[in-house]
Structure 1
Amino acid sequence: MNDQAIGIFDSGVGGTSIWNEIARVMPNENTIYLADSKYAPYGKRSKDEIIALSIKNTKKLLELNCKIIVVACNTATTNAIKVLREQFDIPFIGIEPAIKPAALNTKTQKVGVLATKGTLSSELFAKTSDQYANNIEVIEVIGTGLVELIEEGKIQTPEMGMLLDSYIQPLIKKGIDHLVLGCSHYPYLIPVLRKMLPTHIDIIDSGEAVARQTKVVLSKNNLLNPSNQEGIHTFFTNGSLPVLQEILKKNDLTSVSKAVNF
């Protein structure tokens, strides 16, 4: 099983930010990525819908013989990962907003979280916030419309700039010193955010931590690929193939991308 792929899914192209960290931390591992863009964003869907979509994606990755599945979507993790672990006999890695490092390092005791409605309203997010940010003011902002623009390839556009600015300025005025990105799509907005945010505000996302945890779980289960060859990466999307390819073109890796219905 060791040469089988790491399976990764997200509600679109955003989870490629997680994939990128996985490929960097474990360059010899093969990966298969599902961009479920047809149903993006998950954040505006009901919990039952999110669970059903997560099960659908898991079954597809199991058909493709993946050895572990990374749920590279905050909303899917916070709403569905418990069900996935109960239903499928395979290791799962989840992703959720990195509240803990923000809470531990804040000096102003004020932390901003930019995420989807589905993530912010989830039981797991509430539990994590209660556990790590009891004495911290966590200011939550729902990033309505951001995922849709990213899925349309409109990251560096005036439309994106205006929308993002409307979410960020109130956080700056409230005195945050950390901004937690609670959606795997949002790291692609970091270049835009850097221009908006004062230099003392740190941006935190979960990509590197997820990659490290994936490696730990693979090692514990004796599933690390012993090959010294560069991994082969396959990407599937049920949405716009050009948008996915545009996101991926910066990565000079052995990969193939396809438009398929799943």
Structure 2
Amino acid sequence: MNEQEKAIGVFDSGVGGISTLQVLAKMLPQENFIFYGDSANAPYGEKSGAEVQVLANEVVTQLQAQAVKAVVIACNTATSAAKTELIAQHPTLPILGIEPALKAAVDAGKQHILVMATPLTLSLAKYKTQLAKWGQQQAIYSLPCPGLADLIEGGAAALPQIKVALNRLLATVRQQPIDAVVLGCTHYPFITDLIREQLGQPVTFYTGYEGLGRNLQHQLQQRNLLRTTNAHPTVRFMSSRDTPAELALYQQLFAQGLK
């Protein structure tokens, strides 16, 4: 197998990164993908930065064993906490990460922006720098959502608990004139319909996925790794919770989404 024919590795702390994978697979339809969900250690967003760095490095090592040509960190927390260290530890491997799409919401002229993310993502310097840069121009509401990603790991069976959690979390901002929601965790796009319903007002969602896809395409082109033909593109799923039920959940979410 030549370098172009190798798969792209995508990973998250669990099922959330599948929402990123859906967009990447559409934007790069000639590529093969391997998705690794670290569901046995989910969620990352309530661990320390040092713990996330160790776990993310273990996942990248697992993906390297599958001979991937690039790795996408489809986890906002892991990007913020571990991307710099991963690049240093794997200098020959292109490594890209998802970022909270606050800039996209600001550039679109949104004035009341809700940022939903894990506690760790909102506590790290990367987000605080963005907040300091744009927080004087727009009203930005930072909403840590402890436990939400973990509930989404449960799939459709957890929908009643997800609704209860959202009702509690969004109660603090429901009276604000929110016109944009930045989803700072890749688990959250699976429940956009529920978030919109709970807010009770029209909002635009921002994920950053399209920008990540364009960056990935550019990085692959620069390295002559972009695949231009593929009669049978594949998506393969792996998990640290390696059970038939877990892998079936991955397949279901990739095909349909939770909503």
TM (normalized to structure 2)? 0.90
Q: Pick from 104, 107, 128 the counterpart of residue 107 of structure 2.
A: 104
2: CA distance, partners of 1:226 / 1:203: 31
Q: Pick from 158, 161, 180 the counterpart of residue 160 of structure 2.
A: 158
TM-aligned CA distance change 1:241 to 1:42, over 3 Å: farther
Check the 8 A contact 2:60/2:71 in 1, yes or no: yes
Q: Pick from 224, 227, 233 the counterpart of residue 226 of structure 2.
A: 224
Q: Which residue of 2 aligns with 1:92?
A: 95
Residue type at the aligned position of 2:251: L
Q: Which residue of 2 aligns with 1:60?
A: 62
Shift of 1:245: 1.9
Where does the alignment leave 5 or more consecutive residues of structure 2 unmatched?
none
Where does the alignment leave 5 or more consecutive residues of structure 1 unmatched?
253-262
TM-aligned CA distance change 1:66 to 1:99, over 3 Å: same
Q: Which residue of 1 aligns with 2:22?
A: 20
1: CA distance, partners of 2:247 / 2:200: 31
Q: Pick from 112, 122, 125 the counterpart of residue 123 of structure 1.
A: 125
1:31 aligns with 2:37: no
2: CA distance, partners of 1:230 / 1:197: 42
Shift of 1:199: 4.2
TM-aligned CA distance change 1:251 to 1:16, over 3 Å: closer
Shift of 1:129: 2.5
- Determine what percentage of the aligned residue pairs are the same residue: 32
- Give the secondary structure class of the aligned counterpart of 2:171: helix
Q: Pick from 234, 237, 261 the counterpart of residue 236 of structure 2.
A: 234
Q: How does 1:166-177 map to 2 (within 5 A)?
A: 166-177=168-179
Shift of 1:229: 1.6
Q: Which residue of 1 aligns with 2:183?
A: 181
1: CA distance, partners of 2:151 / 2:253: 19
CA RMSD of aligned residues (A): 1.8
Q: Mean Cα displacement is larger for which, 242-251 or 217-226?
A: 242-251
Shift of 1:251: 5.1
- Give the secondary structure class of the aligned counterpart of 1:173: coil
